[in-house]
A and B are shown apart, each in its own frame.
Chain A
Amino acid sequence: MARRRGSSSNSRRYSGRPQAGARRRGPQTPKPKFRAAFCATCLVDQFYPEVGAAAVKTLRRAGVDVSFPEEQTCCGQIAFNGGFRSHAAEVARRFLDVFESEEQVVVPSGSCASMIKVYYPELFEDDPETQGRARAVGEKTREFSDYLVNVVGAADAGSAAGSAPHQGLVTYHDACHLLRELRISDAPRALIGSIPGVELQEMADADACCGFGGLFSVKFPEISTAILDEKLKNIAESGASAVVANDCGCLMHIRGAMERRGMEARAMHLAELLAGDGV
Chain B
Amino acid sequence: MAEVKSAEFKSASGQALRDAKLQRSLEHVMEHFVDARASVIENDFGGESWDAMRERAAAIKQSTLDHLDYYLDLVDKNVRRNGGHVHFADDAAQANAIVLDIARRNGVKTVIKSKSMVSEEMGVNHVLERAGIEPVETDLGEYIIQLAGETPFHIIAPAMHKTRDEVSDLFRQWLKTAPTQDIKRLCEYARDALREKFAAADMGISGANFVVAETGSVCLVTNEGNGRMTTSAPRVHVALAGMEKIIPAWEDLALYLRLLPRSATGQRITSYNTFVGGPRAASDEDGPEEFHLVIVDNGRLNLLRDEVLREALRCIRCGACLNHCPVYRKVGGHAYGWVYSGPIGAIVTPPMTNMKAAKDLPYASTLCGTCRDVCPVKIDIPRLLLHLRHKIAEGSEDERGATWMERLFVERWGKAMRDRKSLEGQARLGRLLTKPLTRGGKIRKLPAPMVGGWTASRDFPAPAPRSFAQIWRDELAADVGRAPEPQE
Mark A residues whose CB is within 8 Å of B. 3-11, 27-28, 30-32, 40, 42, 44-50, 52-53, 56, 60-68, 70-74, 76, 78-87, 90-91, 94, 119, 122, 160, 176-177, 179-181, 208-209, 211-228, 252-253, 255-257, 259-260
Contacts and interface: CB of A to CB of B under 8 A. Distances in A.
B193 interface: no
A92 B372 CA distance: 26
Contacts of B464: 46-50
B155 interface: no
Interface string B22-50: 00000000010011001101000000001
B468 A40 contact: yes
Given A216-B365, A223-B330, A87 B411 contact: yes
A8 B487 CA distance: 41
A218 B374 CA distance: 27
A81 to B, nearest CB: 7
A180 B370 contact: yes
Contacts of A181: 369
A4 B463 contact: no
Task: Identify the interface centre among A81, A83, A85: most chain B CB within 10 Å of its CB.
Answer: A83
B367 A176 contact: yes
A31 to B, nearest CB: 8
B467 interface: yes
Given A49-B464, A216-B363, A6 B374 contact: yes
A219 B363 contact: yes
Interface in B408-457: 410-411, 413-414, 416-420, 423, 427, 430, 442, 444, 450-451, 453-454, 456-457
B78 to A, nearest CB: 34
Contacts of B320: 6
26 contacts: A5-B370, A8-B54, A9-B51, A48-B461, A49-B470, A52-B468, A64-B484, A65-B480, A70-B469, A73-B416, A82-B406, A82-B410, A84-B402, A85-B390, A85-B394, A90-B418, A91-B418, A176-B368, A180-B372, A209-B370, A213-B365, A219-B360, A219-B363, A225-B457, A228-B457, A260-B457
A214 B427 CA distance: 19
Nearest to A253: B458
B107 interface: no
Contacts of A30: 483-484, 486-487
A155 to B, nearest CB: 16
B369 to A, nearest CB: 4
Contacts, number: 257
A177 B369 contact: yes
A90 B271 CA distance: 55
B64 interface: no
Contacts of A68: 469, 472, 476-477, 480
Contact of A78 (B413, B419, B423, B480): B413
B69 interface: no
B392 interface: yes
B420 A73 contact: yes
A62 B471 CA distance: 21
Contacts of A211: 326, 366
A42 B417 contact: yes
B132 interface: no
When A and B form their complex, which 6 residue pairs have the shortest distance between CB atoms, in order from nearest?
Answer: A213-B366, A83-B393, A83-B389, A256-B458, A221-B453, A180-B369
Contacts of B38: 4-5, 7
A170 B290 CA distance: 67
A53 B464 CA distance: 13
A209 B326 contact: yes
A252 B320 CA distance: 30
Given A46-B464, A209-B366, A252-B461, A218 B471 contact: no
A84 B471 contact: no
Contacts of B411: 87
A177 B386 CA distance: 14
Interface string B155-173: 0000000000000000000
A47 B463 contact: yes
Contact of A221 (B51, B410, B457): B457
B473 interface: yes
Given A6-B374, A87-B414, A213-B367, A223 B327 contact: yes
B17 A226 contact: yes
Contacts of B70: none
A94 B365 contact: no
A76 to B, nearest CB: 7
Given A90-B414, A218-B451, A122 B383 contact: yes
Nearest to B364: A220
A87 B367 contact: no
A223 B468 contact: no
A125 B91 CA distance: 33
Nearest to A159: B487
B305 interface: no
A209 B343 CA distance: 14
Given A5-B34, A85-B394, A209-B368, A180 B373 contact: yes
Given A53-B471, A71-B420, 13 more contacts: A4-B39, A6-B374, A68-B469, A68-B476, A72-B420, A119-B386, A176-B368, A176-B370, A214-B367, A218-B454, A223-B330, A227-B326, A256-B461
